[in-house]
Structure 1
């Protein structure tokens, strides 16, 4: 059996799950549904013309899911995109001359597009991720490049004077569950936690940026480009993790690139094996799963002063970040944006506040800290926080109700 046949055989094993998911897209229009039914139920019907038809379904679904508010997109549209991506991948491999690295790269690009704009199927939530793992295992070692001489340079940052109206946030050593619940969750009080991440494989593995290239360099992700999301020139661009690392993590003279608030661990489950969900997240008011987000970027990335509705444990894995935190009671002193889309974001820059423009900021009473690798910061719901990377940085946030 050739490598191409072996890959096709492994991907074909998911067919029954995909077929059973057709009930999840029953609202699909007749034309798109007939194309999917035909090629999913009869693999022999796949031919060179099928690629054009399947790609047309993907393009149409992409157009539909990008009309209006993302939160209001009908799930069947995104699930159709996932199913069509599975068929597009099968056709791509079937009509490739061989399983060259270029063939695998294109296959991973097809998969990641489906993950980014589709959504999990009930019958097999990890369908596309499993397909990606299958393909990635056939990449030659030469493609798993390393970055030579690119060690993480840790910050030597120190405040010469305490920032205006802010005091140093307390640090405690790995508190008991009872202590954390009573004194910080119930009290809605921020705190830095030390020695809670020592058992994470990521603490050592992620110090080497080549690790990300080896494990996931060919995977496509969405990168934020610009000063921060309030900037008029801010935009987003799809690129591979390898290109992001080489062009943004170590390129201090170009446009700032930031993989921010990104569901990286859902897209690439292999990375999730390197972290452990903190036990403190068990103090939840619901049975909803914890939202796990990645924050990866060079020195100088900024998240403007803003607040989130959920409890937040921000785990610092690589590098250091400077963080300012303010109570919800200080909201009127922080000058939130009036626009509906930015009303959870303030106009104050606590590093260098403009008192002429924002005089009431003098009444605010904040906290600050330099969050070091191996530490976690607990941010209660609705507490304002400003975050700046002081070095190349990788953080993981855990959000829960």
Structure 2
């Protein structure tokens, strides 16, 4: 496995030679270690960790927008070197060793940034280690049915959203993209391996259970008790996926497929995303959590195709024309989030809401919902759920 890990040596050296903004001391030390990567041993670990500690101190000292790219590049390279040293110093490939190595990698991914010559450096290291990891037996009892739902009949009176059976590109562009109308698309992602593989939570544990991710804790992000916590995917599944006590855990709006590229093999970017006004890549986000996760009524500036893979969700949508009736928050941070809860609107507190025109659907596995830009939407999971959103301009 070591030979596969050190194969990136030349690409990293080119990066270090071409990048002058890493800082002389860090750059020269990292260059020395990468150039002599086969001679690294435990005596170099303290210096590598000192570089990492200093970089983490720098990036946590102020606002994230002010963090220099050079600091994050240094974290990526130093993380790679630390990984090599820890692995070379180990005498046995134990589960505890893999836990430590994956934790090192994931902190590097979360706080570092891609290198120009090897943008998936740490992700590739994780794939190499995962292929050498011993087989993992099933950990989660799957007696809980992911599609067990409780759909409220009082939503039947709300406006229905058009349901389209794998529409042609022309139809979708002409009638929905250009007119900015929402629609449910069926039979467009039936070929995704994820539709079957992701039904079993043990699949995620076996593939990426030791990987560290950021989990939202709390009923929704507008509440004071809402917070975020880093934990392994296995800890999240075991402690939050089937737990009805305590705070709700949600892996929400997360770039999971950049973090763990193996999962991206289970999905395909829909062709409908090609109708773009820019050359920017599509943003792909994961939404994974237990029954009861909630995204309060809000809007996004980009077009959105929300693909439902497992479980079902209540979806409430409102046109941008209804904005004044939805009572957006006054703060700049929450300006795109409404105070009204369309599941149980308080008409005494928000009397103008009765003028709004709510659209509703239940999104089921294999369906996608097109949400036009600035259309308000509220999303509630009716069961264990995994959705993938594709955002583009």
Where does residue 281 of structure 2 map in the other structure?
Answer: 289
Uncovered stretches (5+) of structure 1, i.e. residues with no partner: 1-6
**Counterpart-to-counterpart distance in 2, 1:161 and 1:138:** 52
Q: Does residue 12 in structure 1 map to residue 11 in structure 2? A: no
**Counterpart-to-counterpart distance in 2, 1:128 and 1:146:** 27
Q: Does residue 40 in structure 1 map to residue 40 in structure 2? A: no
**Counterpart-to-counterpart distance in 1, 2:155 and 2:363:** 16
Could you give the per-residue CA deviations for residues 7-26 of structure 1, whole angstroms, max 9, x where no partner exists?
Answer: 22111111111111114642
Where does residue 103 of structure 2 map in the other structure?
Answer: 109
1:158 equivalent among 151, 155, 162: 151
Could you give the per-residue CA deviations for residues 95-125 of structure 1, whole angstroms, max 9, x where no partner exists?
Answer: 1122222212211111111111111111011
Q: Is residue 51–residue 88 contact of structure 1 (8 Å, CA) maintained in 2?
A: yes
**SS of match in other structure, 2:333:** helix
**What is the CA distance between 1:92 and its match in structure 2?**
0.8
**What is the CA distance between 1:385 and its match in structure 2?**
0.6
Q: Is residue 83–residue 105 contact of structure 2 (8 Å, CA) maintained in 1?
A: yes
**SS of match in other structure, 1:284:** coil
**What is the CA distance between 1:248 and its match in structure 2?**
0.5
Q: Does residue 315 in structure 1 map to residue 343 in structure 2? A: no
Could you give the per-residue CA deviations for residues 226-283 of structure 1, whole angstroms, max 9, x where no partner exists?
Answer: 1111111111111111111110001121321000000111111111010011000000
2:241 equivalent among 225, 233, 249: 249
Q: Is residue 42–residue 86 contact of structure 2 (8 Å, CA) maintained in 1?
A: no
Decide whether aligned partners of structure 1 residues 241 and 356 sit closer, same or farther in structure 2, where only a CA change above 3 A counts. Answer: same
**SS of match in other structure, 2:250:** strand
Where does residue 123 of structure 1 map in the other structure?
Answer: 117
Q: Is residue 335–residue 347 contact of structure 1 (8 Å, CA) maintained in 2?
A: yes
Q: Is residue 300–residue 375 contact of structure 2 (8 Å, CA) maintained in 1?
A: yes
Where does residue 138 of structure 2 map in the other structure?
Answer: 145
TM-score normalised according to structure 2 size: 0.96
Decide whether aligned partners of structure 1 residues 326 and 72 sit closer, same or farther in structure 2, where only a CA change above 3 A counts. Answer: farther
**What is the CA distance between 1:78 and its match in structure 2?**
1.2
Across the two proteins, how many residue pairs are aligned to each other? 393
Where does residue 344 of structure 1 map in the other structure?
Answer: 336
Q: Is residue 151–residue 208 contact of structure 1 (8 Å, CA) maintained in 2?
A: no
2:70 equivalent among 52, 55, 76: 76
2:197 equivalent among 194, 197, 205: 205
Decide whether aligned partners of structure 1 residues 153 and 42 sit closer, same or farther in structure 2, where only a CA change above 3 A counts. Answer: closer
2:254 equivalent among 243, 259, 262: 262
**What is the CA distance between 1:399 and its match in structure 2?**
0.4
Of the structure 1 ranges 97-106 and 131-140, higher mean CA displacement relative to structure 2 is found in: 97-106
2:51 equivalent among 57, 63, 69: 57
Could you give the per-residue CA deviations for residues 285-340 of structure 1, whole angstroms, max 9, x where no partner exists?
Answer: 11111110000000000001111111000000000000111111111111111111
**Counterpart-to-counterpart distance in 1, 2:54 and 2:299:** 36
> After the TM superposition, which segments of 4 or more aligned residues of structure 1 sit over 6 Å from their partners?
none
1:226 equivalent among 215, 218, 236: 218
**What is the CA distance between 1:41 and its match in structure 2?**
1.7
Of the structure 1 ranges 170-179 and 23-32, higher mean CA displacement relative to structure 2 is found in: 23-32
Of the structure 1 ranges 303-312 and 39-48, higher mean CA displacement relative to structure 2 is found in: 39-48
TM-score normalised according to structure 1 size: 0.94
2:25 equivalent among 19, 25, 31: 31
Q: Does residue 396 in structure 1 map to residue 393 in structure 2? A: no
**Counterpart-to-counterpart distance in 2, 1:25 and 1:301:** 43
Where does residue 15 of structure 2 map in the other structure?
Answer: 21
**Counterpart-to-counterpart distance in 2, 1:305 and 1:114:** 34
CA RMSD of aligned residues (A): 1.6
